[in-house]
Amino acid sequence: MQEHLVTEERPRPVSTRFELAVARMIDAWLAAGKVVLSESDLRLAREFLEHTGCRVEMMDGQRVRIKSDKGRIREMSREAAVVAALRRLAALE
């Protein structure tokens, strides 16, 4: 077993509001038993995705088109867009 001294590691700086709100969002989903997004949750995820190099386009009321920093374009639900933001955040850790 390896010791992990958190006092000797510097935390990664937080650069978006999504990073601060994500724990609250996930707690609400767990309490509801499903992913339920508010407009502000979606706005925070969009801000984060754009901060990490994606281009986000809102299509109709339920769909989002995301163009990644590598040029890949995907259409997805709003909920899937937030999960994509969560995956990008996890990759930064």
For the chain, the domains span: 11-92
Higher pLDDT, 71 or 2: 71
> Which residues have C-beta within 8 Å of that of residue 10, sequence separation ≥ 6?
none
State how far the alpha carbon of 33 is from the alpha carbons of 3, 27, 30, 81, in Å: 35, 10, 5, 19
User: What pLDDT score was predicted for residue 3?
Assistant: 65
- For 4-59, strand residue ranges (E) read 55-58
Region 50-68: mean pLDDT is 93
* pLDDT tens digits along 3-56: 666 666 666 677 799 999 999 999 999 999 998 889 999 999 999 999 999 999
